[in-house]
Amino acid sequence: MNNEVLTPVEIKDAQALPQELTQTPPDLPPVDEPVVEAVVEAPVEAPVEAAVPAPAPAPAVHLPSLDDSSLYIHRELSQLQFNIRVLEQALDESYPLLERLKFLLIFSSNLDEFFEIRVAGLKKQINFARELAGADGLQPHQALARISELVHYEVDRQYAILNDVLLPELEKHHIRFIRRRHWTPKIKTWVRRFFRDEIAPIITPIGLDPTHPFPLLVNKSLNFIVELEGVDAFGRDSGLAIIPAPRLLPRVIRVPEEVGGPGANYVFLSSMIHAHADDLFQGMKVKGCYQFRLTRNADLALDSEEVDDLARALRGELFSRRYGDAVRLEVADTCPKHLSDYLLKQFSLSESELYQVNGPVNLTRLFSITGLDSHPELQYLPFTPAIPKLLQNAENIFSVVSKQDILLMHPFESFTPVVDLLRQAAKDPHVLAVRQTLYRSGANSEIVDALVDAARNGKEVTAVIELRARFDEESNLQMASRLQAAGAVVIYGVVGFKTHAKMMLILRREHGEIVRYAHLGTGNYHAGNARLYTDYSLLTSDDALCEDVGKLFSQLIGMGKTLRMKKLLHAPFTLKKGMLDMIARETQFALEGKPAHIIAKFNSLTDAKIIRALYKASQSGVRIDLVVRGMCCLRPGIAGVSHNIQVRSIIGRFLEHTRVFYFLNGGEEQIFLSSADWMERNLDKRVETCFPVEGKKLLLRVKKELESYLTDNTQAWTLQSDGRYVRSSPTGNQNARSAQATLLERLSNPVLNVR
């Protein structure tokens, strides 16, 4: 493996970049102000050691009630802060150039979903006069105002980064997006021919008049509003037309080298349509042609408790999603005000919901150029996920797992053993049954292929498929049909609860007895994501844990009362209470003057009960280190309340997705892995699992891996009490440390995991 991948890189000084791209909004207030101004900063670095550092003493200040709204950050504003951290990576010169472009495009993709779901939800509350404030006390209309102000600023900044930083850098590497004003005669001729042959035949311009009402436009589609002058063959002179650009058309088109010259040269579809709009309206004068894009509410309005056939009802809702209520309008910044006002009126949107952009309105479609084979030097160096030595030459994975647990950390360690276990089960004559949950599995899933093979080979295959996995509903419907056709039993989970648990159970006959094998994970059965997301996988034959997994499958597939588990915590029944009990236990240890420490790493923290329990623990002297990638509604560093809590977020090459919970427990350390975040939806409205890491070697391993996140000083962002995040950087004589680079290096030589 190339050592360059493994070495933490020095973060460049942001001041070397244009100031307007790096400074914070001058007129925007902090996310919220805490009620207590005195702040005790938690140390930036906190290695996990046997001797827990002494907690900060509680300052002598007037303490607010733990229900006080000023102690909480609004979840949508916190989610925006995460996306801003993603955008910041586009300015980080330590990343390869095309990877920086990816971060900028991920910002757009995340923002699309934010408007489709979160903003749409807030607007829906207002429209139905059901405004509900969260623990932070902010009403939906207040939140929307702050969101609009912040997003307008950041979108302007995003396009400035694209136009002033990334595109000029790409041009230095002979990757060019050629604007119309720079088209050579040769390019103009090629574009004219391409437009005539490939674009014009499938475009349908729509003139607007009483018999041609404004068209119903698909969510997030590219469209053009055209201002016309003249009278057509029927004597019509409405002056306006709409050109919808079909989704099947590429948004960027590569120009052949013999036309555009050496390198990777591209023109935008929008530029082609602008240049040849006259051809679409013969005999009329095109006064102007301006691109726009509409974002709609994409949340499904499906109440699974009120439908007889969830799959059939879902198919109908998926079509409706394309035409939900409008929530955002993006237009080219060259679009005249009278035309943007006209569009706002058509979509019943306000001025604050208009976003004028200096470039393409659909940046996410630029993802197509980020994997250029001709420019590997502008991308991450490739790596090969490791396979534990125990499994490298194992002909029978069951024989290995029967002797010890195997813990894998993706993507540093391969997801292949999980797939291979299922493949072997499909062919093994001793395997009787396979049970599997599926939330997201991706296209051409090897997991689904293996389940199909198992069913065709006569195994009893039962798949619990969550049809309502957001934006994967259609894929999951197709997957369900395929499994049913192969003879598998397909269950759609539990009415009213999403099945988000990641678990597999294999029943195998050995020496006249039925033996269980299980896989439990923190992430999806998605081989593609396993190369991009950090997640844990546990392969086990532990009797008690496998029995618990079997009980949970029985609850999902059949009916009955909650079954008592031996080791497994599961939502919506025991997981939340179990976590609260363990936090309370650390609190009690601290009150007794004993060392107390909690480390939790997960994606989002929004559950008010969990936050209050953490505040109480902090007040009692528990040292709390949280690594929260995304939303965090807790305010750290407030004197007398959260002075013992540190929150950091890691943004890097891989999407942090592991859910790990460490409790000092009076010296009898416990670590749990889970599919759940500390969110109400996970703990109260989903089927989730949380399972212990057992055995001294595995405990030490996971603890050490957590330590790398607490000492990261290059990709870590520390949450301040006012809701802002400050990026960590090496100080003094410190060496640069990246958790992801450390893990990539450490796990390239897999550890023997013995129970």
Q: Within 96-216, where are the H helices?
A: 97-113, 120-127, 140-161, 167-172, 185-194
Nearest alpha-carbon partner for 618 in 599, 592, 590? 590
Maximum Cα–Cα distance for the chain, whole Å?
90
Quote helix, strand, coil % in the chain, to nearest 5.
40, 20, 40
Cite the annotated binding site for Mg(2+) by residue number: 440, 470
Strands 686-692 and 498-499: parallel
Helices (H), 237-326: 257-260, 269-275, 277-280, 310-321
How many Å apart are CA 541 and CA 399, to the nearest integer? Answer: 10
Q: Classify residue 172 as exposed, middle or buried by CB count within 10 Å of its CB (0-12, 13-18, 19+).
A: exposed
The three-state secondary structure class of 277 is: helix
500 is catalytic: yes
Angle at the Cα of 686 from the Cα atoms of 676 and 460, rounded to 5 degrees: 100
List CB contacts of 245: < 8 A, sequence separation 6 or more: 203, 221, 222, 223, 224, 269, 270, 273
Angle formed at CA 343 by CA 302 and CA 121, multiple of 5 degrees: 30
Cis preceding-peptide flag for 572 (omega within 30 of 0): yes
Q: Is the dihedral of CA 180, 181, 182, 188 positive or negative?
A: positive
Q: Which amino acid is at 103?
A: F
Alpha carbons 663 and 677: distance in angstroms, whole number: 16
Q: Specify the amino acid at residue 137.
A: G
Q: Are 462 and 488 in contact (CB under 8 A)?
A: yes
Catalytic hit among 410, 500, 526, 597: 500
**Rounded to an integer, what distance in angstroms lies between the CA atom of residue 652 and that of residue 89?**
8
**What are the beta bridge partners of residue 288?**
227
Q: Token pair of 98, please?
A: 């095309």
- 3-state SS assignment for residue 286: strand
End-to-end Cα distance, the chain: 29
Is 20 exposed, middle or buried (CB count within 10 Å of its CB: 0-12, 13-18, 19+)? Answer: exposed
Residues making up the annotated binding site are: 110, 440, 470, 533, 629, 657
* Binding-site residues for ATP: 110, 533, 629, 657
Radius of gyration of the chain from its Cα atoms, rounded to whole angstroms: 28
- Give the closest residue to 468 by CA, choosing from 304, 631, 331, 602: 304
Catalytic residues: 500
